[in-house]
């Protein structure tokens, strides 16, 4: 298996999950800052021009973070990265979809890719402000889900790897405060050896 990733991107969640599973895998850098996602060879490998993308051992490519995370967890049950009952799994997918589709794509993307949301430069501060509001509202909802638990579903799961990159982006890239229990979650995640290894491999330790 090979993960196409870029440092500082949401591919970090998949990188962490691969480290948690502990089986051998390869890493292929797609430098988003240099626009490598829009050029060959990557654009021919993944016409969506996005990371993460996972090339599996049969040569097929799997894209979309929630699908990749679920696939890895489901195909490696010994790693214990999914709840064992249907209700738990449904709640996990509910959270992962909200974190990626709303907080990341509608919130953080307004800040990182502001020009994609308006043709008018003068509107960009307002677009960023809307992004921050979506992020703040999102963290409030996620914080309520987390409550006093160590991890989002109680036991550690793929949802925690997703929350980790959002919390990390908020603090390190956007300099936004996060609720105390999410800051605690980020610290717990950093203490996990798999997370340290993924961060170190991406030069983010």
Ligand X SMILES: N[C@@H](CCC(=O)N[C@@H](CS)C(=O)NCC(=O)O)C(=O)O
Which of residues 181 and 195 has its CB atom nearest to ligand X in the complex?
Answer: 195
Q: Does residue 32 interact with ligand X by CB under 6 A? A: yes
Q: Does residue 9 interact with ligand X by CB under 6 A? A: yes
Q: Does residue 49 interact with ligand X by CB under 6 A? A: yes
Q: Does residue 17 interact with ligand X by CB under 6 A? A: no
Q: Does residue 37 interact with ligand X by CB under 6 A? A: yes
Q: Which long-range contacts (CB under 8 A, 24 or more apart) does 179-184 make?
A: 179/139, 179/140, 179/143, 181/143, 181/146, 181/147, 181/148, 182/139, 182/142, 182/143, 182/146
Distance of CA 132 to the CA centre of its chain: 18
Q: Does residue 100 interact with ligand X by CB under 6 A? A: yes
Q: Are 26 and 32 in contact (CB under 8 A)?
A: no
Helix intervals (H) in 76-118: 86-97, 109-112
Q: Does residue 10 interact with ligand X by CB under 6 A? A: yes
Entry field: residues in the chain: 205
If you ran DSSP here, which 8-state letter would residue 148 be given? T
Which of residues 32 and 81 has its CB atom nearest to ligand X in the complex?
Answer: 32
> Which window, 17-25, 47-55, 91-99, 174-182, contacts ligand X (CB under 6 A)?
47-55
Q: Does residue 50 interact with ligand X by CB under 6 A? A: yes
Binding site residues, ligand X, CB under 6 A? 9-10, 32, 37, 49-52, 64-65, 100, 105
């Amino acid at each position: 298996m090979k993960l196409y990733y870029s440092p500082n991107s949401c591919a970090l969640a998949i990188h962490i999950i691969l480290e948690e599973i502990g089986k051998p895998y390869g890493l292929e850098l797609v430098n988003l800052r240099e626009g490598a996602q829009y050029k060959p060879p990557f654009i021919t490998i993944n016409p969506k021009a996005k990371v993460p993308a996972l090339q599996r051992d049969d040569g097929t490519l799997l894209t979309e973070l929630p699908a990749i995370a679920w696939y890895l967890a489901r195909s490696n049950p010994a790693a214990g990265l999914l709840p064992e009952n249907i209700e738990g799994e449904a709640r996990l997918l509910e959270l992962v979809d909200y974190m990626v589709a709303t907080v990341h794509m509608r919130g953080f993307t307004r800040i990182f890719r502001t020009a994609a949301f308006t043709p008018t430069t003068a509107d960009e501060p307002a677009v960023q402000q809307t992004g921050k509001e979506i992020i703040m509202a999102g963290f409030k909802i996620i914080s309520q889900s987390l409550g006093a638990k160590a991890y989002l579903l109680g036991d550690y799961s793929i949802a925690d790897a997703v929350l980790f990159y959002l919390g990390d982006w908020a603090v390190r890239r956007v300099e936004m405060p996060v609720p105390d229990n999410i800051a605690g979650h980020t610290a717990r995640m950093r203490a996990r050896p798999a997370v340290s290894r993924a961060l170190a491999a991406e030069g983010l330790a």
